């Protein structure tokens, strides 16, 4: 009998109440079970670049401690490897750690698109390109699930900013939604069948993800064939009854709020708004996930910590991107006098803040690892805090003057990037940039190693000879970087996102992070290199760019329909890997398109002097566009240019192919008038966008006098006496129960509180709030004089309970 048939049989034996109870968690991390039927509670926990399992007090923002686990490089780093096998290997290791820790599902990978480099959570995501994101996520899912552990592909969907992430309404046209934002989910779901998908917090074109039947059922299940479970992001449930109809199976976390929602499900069945079968289907999917855990779990399994650390080191090295290497300043010469500068050389920034924060099982730093490889150096701290410290810089300059090579470790401090808030600038702190400038003046052989989760401005790069980007390299990042600097590993990573020359140049610059209610994705499909290429806007460092200690020659291109074949030769003196990118273009297209788009990629390893015929197939999907008149994928017939490239700005071979089309693009004829056909800058008019969107655009801001709802945020009500009190108590409570740590965590919690909708307050209250607290607050804020007085009294009582932390 199949697992789903077994699940269905079990669920048939359940009462309506039991079925409904399965639709929400038992507590923060566990599902419920049904003891009398032998169905246990199982654990689902973060993700996505390692296991964050909390045994004691729980939170979803990475503050309370978790059991030690391997912190692998973050997705922003591993994406630069373009290496499916590497992602699968990391996945298998994470799967083993979940097996040891009895975890059923690990919450990741995340495939939200890097719409703006400012998104605070970009370090957890792969790329600005949907194909690369989807392919790498699929590989990671395969690796994890091969070990009998489930994954949760997140955050579904168009959740590409942290500002107001729980309530923002993403307004995105259907082509961009399909071709850019849904695409990585589609690829990963179809290729790798994750056990679960996690819905995002936000609204998509006016409907909360959790209530969105079109997304959760029509697209995900019916079109893509997903048969797993959909879980909410922690606290993303909007309307439980609508969500049942949408096909949203499991609400997390569990607690009084979600128990009240279980009761709403039962009531809705009793009064006919839901059919019992609607609930049956959800309970079957939860049950199937529990059965999957039971049948795959290896009791008593233990993983090899050292082995996982070395996988993390290999991954970190393979993910480094060498952007500049004038006069072969790298690899470092053995025996050369070296100055290592910058606190990050000894105290690396290796992961980001928030729910993905791992408690690392071990910790490397580059300074020690360099020494272990025989490269001892003098050290200077270089900076402390954000403001330049002249004394520390003077000391760094002194040791740099004395050395043959000066290595500076710099980047973004923790408080710059986090879940919960977005960056405001692409600048690095003054303490880092000034240090680089002064050391570069003192030593002509200066190399900068950057540790950060997303791009920064690198105006200083012309003053230095070497630039190596390690992103956030995980617990073995220090070793990985040392391997690359010393030539133990030949760098082969390439950028998975464009690094702009100025914030003002970025495609979403004028439309990020939107207003208090909506964010308009006005740039449509022109994101990342798709925009820079089309608008002919130069960038500092391009998508797909990265150097090696060796060199590659491309030749003998042959294209046979969808198969691209060419020779690749390693013409240098060391073994290395080249990431080859195939782009397609259709200059005579009848519809608007980016100048070119990534159609396939492959990482090819070659020893020195070796030559190989490389064959790469272009999937038929790469030729397709989403036809909004037909509501389906279509192929435009005719000739396509094929670029075989070393980066988005470095084409090595050019050829042509052609394909049979279906002629449906004429249905989009009205769109040929829009500015999207002639993109020259990042301003996209309201009327063009509205025409593309197909409807008038909803107001971006809260209207004056607009009634408060359970989705109003604490920020929206903070100017009211009640709002101010709740905010004050919630902040106090957060710092008491979470024991706030560094500046990054403080900023994250402050931002999250401001952006928290009233309906999600229950999650904060740890059970101390009555389930109808949000309703009480809004009736107090909106109500007539009499009802305001009554509600104010009730509110005062509820608040007193919240303060004391009492249940009921
Ligand atoms: C994050 C998710 C995470 C969940 C559980 C949420 O705040 O958005 O990515 O998996 O918390 O920690």
Burial label, 181 (beta-carbon count in 10 A; 0-12, 13-18, 19+): buried
Does residue 178 have its Cβ closer than 6 Å to ligand 1? no
From atom 3 of ligand 1, which residue's Cα is the shortest distance away?
355
CB 37 within 8 A of CB 13: yes
Where helices occur in 130-255 by DSSP H, the ranges are 130-146, 174-176, 183-192, 213, 240-246
Tens digits of per-residue pLDDT, 438-488? Answer: 999 999 999 999 999 999 999 999 999 999 999 999 999 999 999 999 999
The yes or no reply on domain 3-296 and CATH 3.30.420.40 is no
What is the per-residue pLDDT across 161-176, written as a single tens digit (0 to 9) for each?
A: 999 999 999 999 999 9
Residue 807 confidence class, pLDDT cut points 50, 70, 90:
very low
Whether residue 745 has pLDDT greater than 90: no
pLDDT value at position 173?
Answer: 98
State if residue 497 touches ligand 1 by the CB under 6 angstroms criterion: no
Could you identify the atom of ligand 1 that is nearest to the CA of residue 253? 5
Q: What is the pLDDT of residues 89-122, one digit of tens each?
A: 999 999 999 999 999 999 999 999 999 999 999 9
In sequence order, the β-bridge partners of residue 603 are 579
Report the chain's mean pLDDT, rounded to a whole number: 94
pLDDT at 797 over 90: no
Closest CA to 331 of 447, 487, 480, 466: 487
CA trace torsion 508, 510, 511, 514 (10° rounding): 140
| Cα distances (Å, whole numbers) of residue 777 to 699, 705, 722, 771, 772 | 24, 16, 8, 12, 9
Please write the tens of the pLDDT for every residue from 624-656.
999 999 999 999 999 999 999 999 999 999 999
Strand ordering across the sheet containing 229-232: 43-46, 103-107, 150-156, 196-199, 229-232
CATH of domain 550-664: 2.60.40.10
Ligand 1, atom 2, residue with closest C-alpha: 233
> Higher confidence at residue 343 or residue 63?
343
Residue 60 CB less than 6 A away from ligand 1:
yes
On whether the CB atoms of residues 111 and 125 are closer than 8 A, the answer is yes
Q: How confident is the model at residue 373 (pLDDT cuts 50, 70, 90)?
A: very high
pLDDT in tens, 700-722: 999 888 999 999 999 999 999 88
Which of the residues are catalytic?
Answer: 233
The residue whose CA is least distant from atom 12 of ligand 1 is: 60
Phi and psi angles of residue 429, each rounded to the nearest 5 degrees, phi first: -65, 150
Residue 289 contacts residue 150 (beta carbons within 8 Å):
yes
Residue minimizing CA distance to atom 8 of ligand 1: 233
**C-beta of 107 in contact with ligand 1 (< 6 A):** yes
Atom 6, ligand 1: residue with shortest CA distance: 234
179 vs 113, 506, 623, CA distance in Å? Answer: 11, 19, 11
Sheet with 611-617, side-by-side order of all strands: 552-560, 563-570, 611-617
Q: From CA 430, how far away is CA 316, in angstroms rounded?
A: 27
d(CA 648, CA 498): 9
Q: What are the residue ranges of helices labelled H in 417-468?
A: 430-442
Question: Residue 638: its pLDDT value, please?
Answer: 97
Whats the size of the chain, residue-wise? 808
> For the chain, which residues make up each domain, given as ranges?
3-296, 313-497, 550-664, 714-804
Ligand 1 centroid vs 60 CA: distance in angstroms? 6
Give yes or no for a contact between 662 and 638, defined as CB atoms under 8 angstroms apart.
Answer: no
| Ligand 1 pocket check for 154: Cβ under 6 Å | yes
**Is cis: bond before 266, omega within 30 of 0?**
no
Can you give the pLDDT at residue 232? Answer: 98
Judge whether residue 499 has pLDDT over 50: yes
User: Which of 107, 165, 231 has the most ligand 1 atoms within 8 A of CB, as the residue to mutate?
Assistant: 107
pLDDT at 808: 35
Sign of CA dihedral 340, 341, 347, 351: negative
pLDDT tens profile 550-600: 999 999 999 999 999 999 999 999 999 999 999 999 999 999 999 999 999
712 lines ligand 1 (CB under 6 A): no
- Model confidence at 766, pLDDT cuts 50, 70, 90, reads low
C-alpha of residue 353 to centroid of ligand 1, in Å:
12
User: Ligand 1: which of 59, 119, 233, 235 to mutate, most ligand atoms within 8 Å of CB?
Assistant: 233
Residue 283 pLDDT level (bands cut at 50, 70, 90): very high
Instruction: Give phi and psi for 379, each to the nearest 5.
Output: -125, 140
Report how far apart, in Å, the C-alpha atoms of 575 and of each of 135, 222, 363, 578, 585 are: 26, 47, 29, 10, 32
Task: For ligand 1, pick from 29, 57, 157, 234 the residue to mutate: most ligand atoms within 8 Å of CB.
Answer: 234
Residue 793 has pLDDT above 90, yes or no: no
CA gap 460, 436 in Å, rounded: 7
Q: For domain 313-497, which CATH number applies: 3.40.50.300, 3.40.640.10, 3.40.50.1700, 3.40.50.10380? A: 3.40.50.1700
Is the CB–ligand 1 distance for residue 233 below 6 Å? yes
> For 58-77, how does the pLDDT look when each residue is reduced to its tens digit (9 = 90+)?
787 777 789 999 999 999 99
Q: Rounded CA gap, 725 and 720, in Å? A: 9
Task: Say how far apart CA 514 and CA 168 lie, in whole Å.
Answer: 9
Per residue in 522-538, pLDDT (tens digit) is 999 999 999 999 999 99
DSSP 665: G
CA gap 743, 416 in Å, rounded: 9
621: exposed, middle or buried (Cβ count in 10 Å: 0-12, 13-18, 19+): middle
Provide the 8-state DSSP code for 180: I
CA of 165 to the centre of ligand 1 (A): 12
Q: How far apart are CA 417 and CA 356, in angstroms?
A: 13
**Of the candidates 289, 287, 268, the residue with the CA atom closest to the CA atom of residue 278:** 268
The string of DSSP letters for 749-800 reads HHHHHHT-BGGGHHHHHTT-S-TTHHHHHHHHHHS-HHHHHHHHHHHHHHHH
């Amino acid at each position: 009998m199949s697992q789903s048939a077994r699940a269905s049989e079990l669920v048939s034996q359940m009462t309506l109440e039991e079925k409904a109870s399965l639709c929400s968690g038992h507590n923060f991390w566990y599902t419920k079970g049904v003891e009398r039927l032998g169905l246990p509670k199982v654990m689902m926990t973060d993700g996505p670049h390692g296991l964050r399992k909390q045994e004691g007090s729980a939170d979803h923002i990475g503050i309370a401690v978790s059991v030690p686990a391997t912190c692998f490089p973050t997705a922003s780093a591993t994406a630069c490897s373009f290496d499916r096998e590497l992602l699968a290997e990391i996945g298998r290791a994470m799967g083993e750690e979940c097996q040891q820790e009895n975890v059923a599902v690990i919450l990741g990978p995340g495939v939200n698109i890097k719409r703006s480099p400012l998104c605070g959570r970009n370090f957890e995501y792969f790329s600005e390109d949907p194909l690369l994101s989807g392919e790498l996520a699929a590989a990671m899912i395969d690796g994890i699930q091969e070990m009998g552990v489930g994954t949760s592909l997140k955050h579904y969907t168009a959740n590409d900013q942290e500002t107001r992430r729980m309530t923002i309404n993403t307004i995105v046209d259907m082509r961009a939604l399909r071709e850019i934002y849904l695409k990585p989910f589609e690829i990963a779901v179809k290729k790798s069948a994750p056990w679960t998908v996690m819905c995002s917090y936000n609204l998509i074109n006016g409907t909360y993800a959790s209530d969105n039947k079109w997304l959760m059922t029509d697209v995900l299940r019916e079109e893509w064939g997903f048969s797993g479970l959909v879980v909410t992001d922690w606290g993303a449930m909007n309307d439980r009854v609508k969500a049942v109809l949408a096909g949203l199976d499991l609400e997390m976390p569990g607690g009084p709020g979600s128990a009240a929602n279980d009761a709403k499900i039962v009531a809705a069945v009793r009064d006919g708004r839901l059919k019992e079968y609607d609930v049956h289907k959800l309970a079957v999917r939860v049950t199937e996930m529990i059965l999957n855990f039971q049948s795959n779990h290896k009791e008593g399994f233990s993983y090899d910590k050292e082995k996982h650390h070395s996988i993390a080191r290999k991954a970190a090295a393979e993910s480094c991107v060498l952007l500049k290497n004038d006069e072969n300043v790298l690899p470092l010469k053995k025996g050369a006098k070296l100055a290592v500068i910058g606190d990050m050389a000894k105290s690396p920034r290796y992961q980001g803040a928030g729910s993905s924060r791992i408690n690392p099982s071990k910790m490397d730093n580059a300074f020690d690892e360099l020494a272990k490889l025989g490269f001892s150096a003098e050290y200077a701290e270089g900076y402390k805090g954000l403001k330049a410290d002249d004394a520390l810089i003077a000391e760094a300059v002194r040791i740099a003057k004395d050395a043959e090579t000066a290595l500076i470790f710099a980047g973004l401090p923790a408080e710059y990037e986090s879940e919960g808030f977005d960056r405001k600038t692409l600048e690095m702190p003054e303490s880092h940039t000034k240090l680089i400038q002064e050391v570069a003046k003192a030593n002509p052989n200066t190399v900068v190693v950057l540790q950060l989760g997303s791009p920064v401005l690198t105006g200083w790069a012309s003053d230095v000879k070497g630039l190596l980007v390690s992103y956030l390299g995980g617990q073995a990042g220090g070793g990985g970087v040392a391997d690359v600097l010393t030539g133990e590993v030949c760098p082969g990573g390439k950028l998975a996102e464009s690094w702009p020359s100025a914030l003002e140049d970025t495609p979403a610059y004028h439309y990020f992070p939107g207003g208090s209610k909506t964010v308009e994705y006005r740039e449509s499909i022109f994101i990342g290199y798709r925009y820079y290429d089309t608008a002919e806007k130069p960038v500092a460092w391009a998508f797909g760019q990265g150097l090696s200690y060796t060199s590659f020659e491309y030749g003998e291109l042959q294209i046979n329909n969808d198969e691209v074949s060419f020779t690749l030769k390693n013409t240098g003196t060391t073994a290395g890997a080249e990431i080859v990118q195939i782009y397609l273009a259709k200059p005579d297209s009848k519809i608007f398109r980016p100048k070119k788009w990534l159609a396939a990629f492959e990482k090819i390893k070659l020893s020195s002097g070796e030559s190989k015929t490389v064959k790469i197939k272009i999937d038929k999907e790469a030729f397709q566009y989403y036809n909004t008149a037909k509501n389906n994928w279509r192929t435009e017939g005719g000739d396509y240019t094929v670029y075989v490239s070393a980066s988005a700005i470095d084409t090595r071979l050019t050829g042509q192919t052609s394909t049979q089309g279906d002629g449906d693009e004429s249905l989009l004829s009205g769109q040929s008038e829009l500015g999207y056909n002639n993109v020259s800058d990042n301003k996209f008019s309201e009327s063009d966008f509205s025409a593309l969107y197909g409807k008038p655009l909803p107001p971006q801001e809260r209207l004056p006098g607009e009634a408060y709802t359970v989705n109003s945020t604490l920020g929206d009500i903070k100017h009211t006496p009640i709002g101010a009190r709740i905010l004050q108590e919630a902040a106090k409570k957060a710092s008491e129960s979470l024991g706030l740590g560094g500046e990054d965590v403080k900023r994250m919690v402050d931002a999250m509180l401001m952006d928290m909708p009233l309906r999600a307050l229950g999650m904060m209250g740890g059970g101390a709030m009555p389930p109808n607290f949000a309703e009480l607050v809004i009736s107090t804020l909106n109500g007539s004089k009499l009802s305001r007085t009554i509600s104010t009294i009730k509110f005062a009582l509820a608040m007193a309970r919240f303060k004391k932390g009492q249940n009921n």
